[in-house]
Amino acid sequence: MSATGGLASLFLACGALAGLGPERFPNDAGPAELDVSGYPEAVREGYRLAAFKCAACHTAARPFNSEFLELSPKEESALRKLHPELGRDRRLVRIEAGVWSRYVRRMMAKPGSPVKSDDGKKIWSFLRHDSKVRKTGANAKAWARHRGKLLGDFARKQPAAYRQRFGDAPPPDER
């Protein structure tokens, strides 16, 4: 076996162990890189940390393409007045206070996690900011199409896994 072939096998094995094999979630098939050039520098730092540190255990696409949207109750109330349809289909957008905070803390608690406290705060700040930017306002329709496509592809490629996660409900319309 060549050195290149051996390295490729090693990376594939490590990737499978880290959850980088067949997509376990619809999110995993989405992009693992985002354009964050318009974000504040502190948020971009959180993105860089997330892209690197999250990928130690699973593809960075998993959080980047998640349905989670962390809003305070006051933010949620204000947003629902303007967009009552937001969050109706929790497979597209799932609004929860503190969801990214819980997610990051859970990742930090895993044995061997490369995410430490200071990094966790920066990653949380990025995930919270990014989900607001990409899932609400002018970007809400594009997000719904993107997420709908991920769900539809997942349902077609892994119907049993789709049913296990989402029941018998068909994927949302991808238009």
pLDDT in tens, 106-164: 999 999 999 998 999 999 999 999 999 999 999 999 999 999 999 999 999 999 999 99
Full domain range(s) for residue 32: 26-166
pTM given for the model: 0.84
Whether residue 146 lies inside any domain: the answer is yes
Cβ atoms of 151 and 172 within 8 Å: the answer is yes
Whether residue 54 lies inside any domain: the answer is yes
Instruction: Show the tokens assigned to 157.
Output: 């490629």
Q: Indicate if the pLDDT at residue 21 is higher than 80.
A: no
Q: Indicate if the pLDDT at residue 172 is higher than 50.
A: yes
Whether residue 13 lies inside any domain: the answer is no
Whether residue 70 lies inside any domain: the answer is yes
Cβ atoms of 30 and 146 within 8 Å: the answer is yes
Whether residue 15 lies inside any domain: the answer is no
- Looking at residues 76-93, what average pLDDT do you find? 92
Whether residue 111 lies inside any domain: the answer is yes
Whether residue 12 lies inside any domain: the answer is no
Whether residue 86 lies inside any domain: the answer is yes
Tokens 């090693």 sit on residue: 10
Number of domains in the chain: 1
Q: Nearest to residue 86, comparing CAs of 6, 129, 32, 143?
A: 143
Please tell me the predicted confidence (pLDDT) of residue 20: 44
